[in-house]
Amino acid sequence: MRKTFVTICALCLCLVGMRAQGVSVTEGKIAVGDNPAWSQPSFVDSAWQTLALDREWGEQGIQKTNGYAWYRIHVVIPSSLRQGVAKEVLLDLGPIDDTDETWLNGVQVGKTGSNPEDPAGYHGQWNVPRRYLVDPSLIRWDQENILAVRVYNASGPGGFFERPVWIGKPALSDYVSLAVTKGKNSADVVLASRISCGGTVTVVKEDLLGGGELEGFSRKVKLNPRKPYKVSVPMDGQVRVVVSYADNLFEDRLDASLTNPYILTPPAPAIPRYNGPLVFGVRPGSPVIFRLAFSGEKPMKYAVEGLPEGVVLDEDKGVLSGSVADEGDYPLTFVATNDKGTTRASFTLKVGPQIALTPPMGWNSWNCWGLSVSQEKVMASASAFLNAGLADYGYSYINIDDAWEAAGRNPDGTLSANEKFPDMKGLGDWLHANGLKLGIYSSPGDRTCGGCIGSIDHEKQDAETWASWGVDYLKYDWCGYSKVFNPGKDHSKAAYLRPYVKMQQYLREQPRDIFYSLCQYGMADVWEWGAFVDANSWRTTGDITDTWESLYEIGFERQTELYPYAGPGHWNDPDMLVVGKVGWSSLLRDSRLTPDEQYTHISLWSLLSANMLIGCDLSQMDAFTFNLLCNNEVNAVNQDILGRQAHRDVEEDGVQLWSRDLYDGGKAVGIFNLNEAPVPALLKGCLEKMGIEADTVRDLWRQKDIPTDAVYRIPSHGVLFVKVKNL
Ligand code: GLA
């Protein structure tokens, strides 16, 4: 933590803080536009505007949001930084929205991301911290230095945004990297260094169920750029490999760990098995878009008994299409046949006013691609629905989040997609032909959260445009509407409802069913009135991220009182899933949640009847993520037709017991261990505390019946997720 800032005098206009190890710079100068001369120290920038470096330029009165702008930061660098272990000096610029090229005293010293005119095309990297090491010969010691930063921003407010710039001594991590990655049955440790150094590596294998260490060793190592240190540690079951490296020169250490992503879901049988919801709601006359979700060996042939007039089946794909004129419940039998046999499943098509009879299951672009989404990336995940088999488990929505919008409206006021989405209608048609559905995103304000055009004063036109593309889902995100809302100072519930009622009317005028998803982070207790504006779901919190803190707050703390408000047709939405490869940008990483936290995430979202919108790039899905998303017994809790959201029954010593009723008389129960260490849980005792008697208990992840009078060890942040039934 940087706590001590002492203001020193500066020749420059910027605010400078200094402590022994470096200089903190809180302000810089900015000009919108692009000019190579601005990189040079001789350029006179006295007419430029001064800006804080911990907030984006869009928030500081710079109107132009997209394109190039330059920062020039004047800073005195003290010669005290010359001494130290490393010869170089660190320029720690923090993350920059979206790309940067950086010059120190006229010499380029760094670049992150790629600009539209670069051979590779645009690649934003807004969330990547910039740490550039510079040769000390470039520095004018104890004098003013000019740091010139050319920034390209694709959309939204851009530039420096997180924290002051820091100029100081490099850290161990600037030279030495420690990575622990998953090998076949091992944790593979690689310690690599850009300089010659040495220290001690310690490796420990921990037992996540029993607690304690299984094995470990400490070793002295010498590193140089040609000689990394590598070791593979065998890994099996519920274990974690923890590695540290203590460096002699820096007197500092690096830590890394890897929990084995152990798979609990048994493989699906080769014979067809139905994994989808038991009901589907469609309004009279609206298109029926439904894919029969059968796992099992392909090819498969499908048949449906009891189809109402107007609906047809594609027998090879298992896709229902058409429409039904008359309201009513139509009991159907799905039949799927492959080389291994035939399976039948009962189902009800409910033609009536209510859609979304079970929570939506699908994919959304935001948590992986953020503003870098494109039609190609959307298609890559949509194809994985078919190729990797997610559609066989009931996932059907492919939702495009922010950044599909063109930069301006057309002369007639309509809004087209930008160049990254060459054919929205074609995309919609392709999805529908495969029994999948298309989702889109907008805001009731003038701008979306990502700075794109919103729907204000064009609600009708936008609803019509979306319907013409075949949109089946709208996420309508408050964001820019704050500007309309605040000046009025009308904070009544009616004021919060207004923009959502308006769009709802136009959605209902379209000749298709459009799932209406409110996104306003839970303001004005949206769960109390969401259903009145005909919403099918409403976000209950701010944005989720892939950390335990975020999952804990959003999933556990903020949902406890919300169960009365969910039910068929209208659901609480605690935000999208953060498993698999996420990143909110073109740069993806594995979710930072541990495997146990990911089991907890999916179990909890199933209990909460939450929207199951996958937030990762499905074209890079691994076996562990598939096991999380495609466990039919776990998903059946989420899709249960009673639609009763779980409530927390017991909270004791860091263990929370949640339960929900199921339509077949059973109950789903989650025993969550929120502690930092594993806990033993006597299943019978837990159920008794909840007032639940059980004849049979089934472990849903492992898909096997288990005895109640046994003690189960639950890993830290992990879960035992069961279904209880009485005979
Ligand atoms: C908000 C929403 C996110 C996402 C972004 C898009 O932050 O909560 O889910 O839609 O906007 O800009």
Q: Is the bond preceding 596 in cis, omega lying within 30 degrees of 0? A: no
Specify the residue with its C-alpha closest to ligand 1, atom 11.
449
| Digit-coded pLDDT (tens) for 20-37 | 579 999 999 999 999 999
Tell me the CA distances in angstroms from 292 to 268, 303, 566, 687, one per residue in order: 16, 10, 26, 36
User: Residue 567 corresponds to which amino acid?
Assistant: G
The CA distance from 153 to 69, in Å, is 8
Confidence of residue 16 (pLDDT cuts 50, 70, 90): very low
Residue from 519, 526, 582 whose mutation best tests the ligand 1 pocket (most atoms within 8 A of CB): 519
Confidence of residue 120 (pLDDT cuts 50, 70, 90): confident
Q: Decide if pLDDT at 419 tops 80.
A: yes
Confidence of residue 487 (pLDDT cuts 50, 70, 90): low
Specify the residue with its C-alpha closest to ligand 1, atom 4.
366
CA of 481 to the centre of ligand 1 (A): 13
Residue from 56, 401, 441 whose mutation best tests the ligand 1 pocket (most atoms within 8 A of CB): 401
Residue 616 half-sphere exposure, CB side, CA atoms within 13 Å?
A: 24
Q: Decide if pLDDT at 123 tops 70.
A: yes
Query: Which residue, chain included where needed, has tokens 């500066």?
Result: 10
Q: Note whether 26 and 35 are within 8 A (CB).
A: no
3-state DSSP percent of the chain in helix, strand and coil, to 5: 20, 35, 40
Residue among 109, 126, 132, 116 at smallest CA distance from 160: 126
* 653 labelled catalytic: no
DSSP collapsed to 3 states, 2-57 = CCCCEECCCCCCCCEEEECCEEEECEEEEEECCCHHHHCCCCCCCCCEEEECCCCH
Mean pLDDT of 492-507: 95
CA of 162 to the centre of ligand 1 (A): 18
Neighbours of 336 (CB within 10 A): 24
The dihedral region occupied by 691, where left means phi > 0, alpha psi between -120 and 50, and beta the remainder, is left
Q: Residue 20 has what pLDDT? A: 53
Q: Residue 723 has what pLDDT? A: 98
Q: Decide if pLDDT at 434 tops 90.
A: yes
Q: Residue 59 has what pLDDT? A: 85
Ligand 1 atom closest to residue 543's alpha carbon, by position in its atom list = 8
Q: Residue 488 has what pLDDT? A: 58
Specify the residue with its C-alpha closest to ligand 1, atom 9.
543
From the list 477, 573, 590, 617, the catalytic residue is 477
Q: Decide if pLDDT at 649 tops 70.
A: yes
The dihedral region occupied by 318, where left means phi > 0, alpha psi between -120 and 50, and beta the remainder, is left
CA of 371 to the centre of ligand 1 (A): 10
Q: What is the pTM of this model?
A: 0.89
CA of 576 to the centre of ligand 1 (A): 10
Q: Decide if pLDDT at 9 tops 70.
A: no
| Digit-coded pLDDT (tens) for 259-283 | 999 999 999 999 999 999 999 999 9
Across the chain, mean pLDDT equals 94
Tell me the CA distances in angstroms from 517 to 417, 473, 521, 570, 594, one per residue in order: 20, 7, 12, 9, 29
CA of 599 to the centre of ligand 1 (A): 24
Ligand 1 atom closest to residue 452's alpha carbon, by position in its atom list = 12
Using CB distances shorter than 6 Å, the residues near ligand 1 are 366, 401-402, 441, 448-450, 477, 519, 543
CA of 332 to the centre of ligand 1 (A): 38
Q: Note whether 116 and 153 are within 8 A (CB).
A: no
Q: Residue 484 has what pLDDT? A: 84
Q: Is the bond preceding 41 in cis, omega lying within 30 degrees of 0? A: no
* 412 labelled catalytic: no
Ligand 1 atom closest to residue 475's alpha carbon, by position in its atom list = 10
Q: Decide if pLDDT at 14 tops 90.
A: no
Mean pLDDT of 572-586: 96
The CA distance from 454 to 32, in Å, is 24
Tell me the CA distances in angstroms from 198 to 68, 157, 256, one per residue in order: 43, 44, 18
How do beta strands 537-539 and 515-519 pair?
parallel
In 129-228, where do the E strands start and end? Answer: 129-134, 144-153, 159-160, 165-168, 176-182, 186-193, 197-207, 213-223
The structure tokens listed for 403 are: 């950044």
Segment among 25-39, 110-124, 228-242, 336-350 with least mean pLDDT: 110-124
